[in-house]
Amino acid sequence: MNHRPRSIAFACLCLLVLAGCGFHPRGELRVPADIGPVRIVSGDPYSPLALALSRALTRAHAAPADASDAGAGAASLHIVSEAWNQQPLSIDVHAQATEYDVTYVVKYEFTAADGKPIAPVREVRIERNFSYNASNALGSAQEQQTIREEMQRDMAAAIMRQLDIILRKLH
């Protein structure tokens, strides 16, 4: 029995359903040229989030602001605040935490070169759970550091997705 015609028909049906629901790839994020150079403003000049956002803006074809753009003349992505919180989720029979919930909250705003807000202060929250093994504290500390780094990359991506939506509405 030849199943090839059924497979082709099923694949075509899936494509029609997918096309009919409005799905389409998001495409590449591009910061419009009329936004001008963009600078990242953070309380910590060595903030991993600020560095990740800077790289993401460069990939989005945003011109980085230089020292001459420090005042007016550059749009700014201002990291208003970054906060980490870690709470135990479960405790073993010895009253030691075995699982934690880590929350990373960032508030940011995006302003045009003239100082007008493009995106007023917004909050992005990311949460992760991880297991903690007291008998392998060194490995758990490394795991925590890896989780924090991943959350910072995810935060930069989440902020960039929000900016993409905002900028598409403007243009």
**pLDDT tens profile 28-69:** 677 777 888 899 999 987 899 999 999 999 888 888 876 555
Q: What backbone phi and psi angles, to 5 degrees, belong to 35?
A: -70, -30
H or E element in which residue 106 lies? strand 97-111
Structure-block tokens of residue 73: 């003349």
CATH code for 32-170?
A: 3.30.160.150
What's the predicted TM-score (pTM) here? Answer: 0.76
H or E element in which residue 100 lies? strand 97-111
Distance CA 120, CA 157 (A): 18
Higher pLDDT among residues 145 and 19, named by residue:
145
Burial of 21 (0-12, 13-18, 19+ CB in 10 A): exposed
Distance CA 161, CA 126 (A): 14
Residues 68-125 have pLDDT tens digits of 555 567 899 999 999 999 888 787 887 777 788 899 999 999 999 888 999 899 999 9
Tell which residue, 118, 111, 110, 88, has the closest CA to residue 101: 88
Whether the pLDDT of residue 157 is over 70: the answer is: yes
The residues facing 124 across adjacent strands are: 106
Distance CA 50, CA 8 (A): 48
Residue 149 pLDDT level (bands cut at 50, 70, 90): very high
Structure-block tokens of residue 20: 């009919």
Whether the pLDDT of residue 136 is over 90: the answer is: no
Q: What backbone phi and psi angles, to 5 degrees, belong to 49?
A: -65, -45
Domain ranges for the chain, please list them: 32-170
